[in-house]
Structure 1
Amino acid sequence: MAYDAIIIGAGACGLMCAVQAGFLGKKVIVLEKNDKPGAKILISGGGRCNYTNIGATHEQFISANEHFVKSAFKQWTVEDSINFFETYGIYGAEKTLGQLFPEGKNAKDVVNVFTSLCEEMGQQILCNAEVTSINNNDGEYQVNYRINQKEKTIAAPKLVIATGGLPIPKMGATDFALKFARKHALNIVETAPALVPLTITGKDEDWFAQLSGNSVFCKVSNEEASFEENILFTHWGLSGPAILQISSYWRRGQEINIDLLPNENILQILSTERQHNGRIQLSTLLNRFYTKKFTDALGKFLPLSKTIADLTKAEMEALEQTIHYFKVKPAGDKGYDKAEVMRGGIDTNELSSKTLESKKLIGCYFGGECVDVTGWLGGYNFQWAWASGYVIAQCI
């Protein structure tokens, strides 16, 4: 069969690209290394799949070129994502901070939208197909792959690399796209785990470990960004939405600041309380905002047994610093095994922002996570995957 394009990777970008190409009457074949398509979609959001975010703009994405995604997001908007899924029976239920989840359905239903459409339109998805080499002969891409222990070859004038990033190797993640790009002299922006838990070691390790399981609503910030969501203490450090978010902006050796009581002023609360009942202990006051276990742990820094009327100026300053300016210097992160996405990737300067075609490899397109475009937690990375898949489909 003659194909208009070969798509490598049946993740969010590759599947959207195959479907959108089918709508335009183009024939593609999708080669997927795993034994089923959409492996990472299936585990997203704990299997519920946070498939977009109603507030997605270029501002929630990290890239060496912050404007790169604008063209793709004009061509395929959040509204387009919502309408696309509604057409096929997936209606969004809005959760925290604009996140959309399938109402009454889950990640399997999202994947089924794509696999059903591909089947209807004759777009072939080959699973357990591991690409071994790619050659470009006279303007045609020849892809060699192994399936069922047999070596096979297919060719097409267009090639789409949508193999994702490095996170979650056990789900089949590889550096295929990065290796291919380097082989053809495409620049790579340094990669690192993103949306990833942070680890604490050394003298503070035991203090964090004793709080494992405690969740606190906080404002977590550094010089680049700030997020107000929950943090989760773990036996190895910190996790939870706010920590995952800030991790994308964090570099080893840097501190992060945690405001343990955002949108409040602990000294004003203290002053007001003193007027009514200055004889209560500081621990009693803090127990209004935190679990007893967490308050007790703050005893490392604060005189919990003192009455609030007896606190000295220095102790009040310590209270303010502890509650609003809690400094943490993570030792590292939990790596690609626990990361949700990869930061960095194929340099956007190597690609056309309008088509996502490589400037050096004519007819070769890169989309999704392998590109230096990293979204926040909460459906943003899916929006980029859908948009990049759509954009590429218009050109293959």
Structure 2
Amino acid sequence: MPNSDICGTPAMTAKINKQTHFDAIIIGAGACGLMCAVQAGFSGKRTLILEKNDKPGAKILISGGGRCNYTNLYASPQQFISQNEHFCKSTLSQWTVEDTISFFETYGIVGKEKTLGQLFPESDKARDVVKVFTDLCRDLGQEIICNADVKNIEKVEDSFIVSVEIDGIPEEISASKVVIASGGLPIPKMGATDFGLRTARKFELKINDTAPALVPLTITGKDQPWFEQLSGNSIFCRVWNDRASFEENILFTHWGLSGPAILQISSYWRPGEYIYIDLLPYQNIAELIQQEREANGKKMLLAYLAGLYTRKFAEALSDRLPVEKNLASLTKADIEHITSLIHGFKVKPAGDKGYDKAEVMRGGVSTDELSSKTLEAKKVPGLYFGGECVDVTGWLGGYNFQWAWASGFVIAQGI
């Protein structure tokens, strides 16, 4: 049986009531699947959620360090990556950020803004978010079956036959609609699988190339020791490439780079490419040095940089900059070199930390295969895809939850 102190609802059972007619079977009790079940319940529809883990909302529970950044005040289609940049507009307009905020406030969760529009529950407890859904599923008669490993889905005439093992016991369940809300590939230890992608392929739907996103980047070879010595140092920067630019902290690690700005740019980075870092955004290092040497030309460059950054970071720059010189003795070429490095620090990552450390998956079921208004597969009536398995990937900071809630709502209107 599921963990009752997390779920606490009779809607969660270990066995399926064979006499119950379900309007839809939902694969996955994550953000999309839970919202879909609740919204369907509001319309008087009965759904069955099949969840592979031993409790619902496993990824919600660990998100934001267990605090759950459940939406972003500034969410709009511009913060989502897809081969069809317009596809998410319909879904995000049908269920807005205001709808998310109102929904959670109705059930006792008031948001508090942290940085850059990120909303967290006042309680800082992700389990409060999950409890909203499990309580509503109980009240609305929506069933959640945990430890349910779906093996196969077949379409027979106007129905779908779902083959599932519940606590290892094979079952077959039928419904006229099936919702694939099983997530993407990140964090396999949390039960992530390629089920959504496999199902799409089974029904001959196109898959856009997938890759880890919102993921730390690795540095190897001769540059690794330089980054390794700075492990633990965090600096506010602007990070960019030809596709995007972000201004947040970066974090040096023993294997490369992490921190919010790096996670953000990782979604736009491709292997073999460079990223660029402005280590002093909003300021001009050449002008700052000129002002300082007029006041104190004898100050060493190392001491000056140690005032802008940590001493450790300033010392790390010693093999890249003429830190042994005082400010007065810096030549025009020195200043140009310092400016180039500080405002255009060039990094060529070797790779990323993979799905174990990725927040989300980039790519997925092609939006060409889905109705933008309903998220129903065009070729397979009654089959819906929502959440992370679709080729819609949000920025860091609550955007992916907003997509999940919105896609769950939209699908519920169609089932």
The two structures share one fold, judged by TM-score above 0.5: yes
Contact 2:38 2:133 in 1 (8 A): yes
1:198-217 correspondence runs (5 A): 198-217=217-236
3-state SS of 1:177 partner = helix
Question: Greater CA deviation, 26-35 or 271-280?
Answer: 271-280
User: After superposition, what is the alpha-carbon deviation per residue over 1:328-359, rounded to whole angstroms, capped at 9, x for unaligned?
Assistant: 00000000000000000000000000000000
1:273 equivalent to 2:317? Answer no
The one-letter code matched in structure 2 to 1:340 is: E
3-state SS of 1:96 partner = coil
Cα distance, 1:305 vs. partner?
Answer: 2.2
Hey, what does 2:71 align to over in structure 1?
A: 52
1:15-26 correspondence runs (5 A): 15-26=34-45
Hey, what does 2:131 align to over in structure 1?
A: 112
Hey, what does 1:163 align to over in structure 2?
A: 182
Hey, what does 2:255 align to over in structure 1?
A: 236
In structure 2, what is the Cα distance between the partners aligned to 1:98 and 1:261? 23
Hey, what does 1:97 align to over in structure 2?
A: 116
Contact 2:239 2:278 in 1 (8 A): yes
3-state SS of 1:394 partner = helix
Cα distance, 1:242 vs. partner?
Answer: 0.2
Hey, what does 2:301 align to over in structure 1?
A: 282
Cα distance, 1:183 vs. partner?
Answer: 1.2
For these two proteins, the number of residue pairs brought into alignment is 396
In structure 2, what is the Cα distance between the partners aligned to 1:371 and 1:148? 28
1:1-396 correspondence runs (5 A): 1-396=20-415
In structure 1, what is the Cα distance between the partners aligned to 2:124 and 2:362? 30
In structure 1, what is the Cα distance between the partners aligned to 2:21 and 2:202? 27
In structure 2, what is the Cα distance between the partners aligned to 1:367 and 1:265? 45
Gaps of 5+ in 1: none
3-state SS of 1:287 partner = helix
User: After superposition, what is the alpha-carbon deviation per residue over 1:158-194, rounded to whole angstroms, capped at 9, x for unaligned?
Assistant: 1100000000000000000101111111000000000
Contact 2:68 2:124 in 1 (8 A): no
In structure 2, what is the Cα distance between the partners aligned to 1:205 and 1:27? 55
Cα distance, 1:275 vs. partner?
Answer: 1.5
Contact 1:28 1:123 in 2 (8 A): yes
In structure 2, what is the Cα distance between the partners aligned to 1:333 and 1:230? 18
3-state SS of 1:22 partner = helix
Contact 2:66 2:124 in 1 (8 A): no
Gaps of 5+ in 2: 1-19
Contact 1:356 1:391 in 2 (8 A): yes
User: After superposition, what is the alpha-carbon deviation per residue over 1:4-38, rounded to whole angstroms, capped at 9, x for unaligned?
Assistant: 00000000000000000000100000000000000
3-state SS of 1:40 partner = helix
In structure 2, what is the Cα distance between the partners aligned to 1:342 and 1:327? 26
The one-letter code matched in structure 1 to 2:306 is: N
Question: Greater CA deviation, 348-357 or 145-154?
Answer: 145-154
Cα distance, 1:149 vs. partner?
Answer: 2.1
User: After superposition, what is the alpha-carbon deviation per residue over 1:113-162, rounded to whole angstroms, capped at 9, x for unaligned?
Assistant: 00010011110000000111111112111111001221111111111000
Cα distance, 1:104 vs. partner?
Answer: 2.0
Cα distance, 1:360 vs. partner?
Answer: 0.6
Contact 2:24 2:47 in 1 (8 A): yes
3-state SS of 1:270 partner = helix
Q: Which runs of 4+ in 1 moved over 2 A?
A: none
Cα distance, 1:276 vs. partner?
Answer: 1.2
The one-letter code matched in structure 2 to 1:241 is: P
Contact 1:90 1:105 in 2 (8 A): no
User: After superposition, what is the alpha-carbon deviation per residue over 1:302-331, rounded to whole angstroms, capped at 9, x for unaligned?
Assistant: 111211010012211111011001000000
In structure 1, what is the Cα distance between the partners aligned to 2:293 and 2:308? 17
Cα distance, 1:277 vs. partner?
Answer: 1.2
CA RMSD in angstroms comes to 0.6
Cα distance, 1:105 vs. partner?
Answer: 3.6
Cα distance, 1:273 vs. partner?
Answer: 1.2
Contact 1:301 1:318 in 2 (8 A): no
Hey, what does 2:17 align to over in structure 1?
A: none
In structure 1, what is the Cα distance between the partners aligned to 2:132 and 2:216? 32
The one-letter code matched in structure 2 to 1:28 is: T
Contact 1:44 1:107 in 2 (8 A): yes
Q: Percent identity?
A: 69
Cα distance, 1:292 vs. partner?
Answer: 0.3
3-state SS of 2:192 partner = coil
Hey, what does 2:6 align to over in structure 1?
A: none
In structure 2, what is the Cα distance between the partners aligned to 1:206 and 1:98? 36
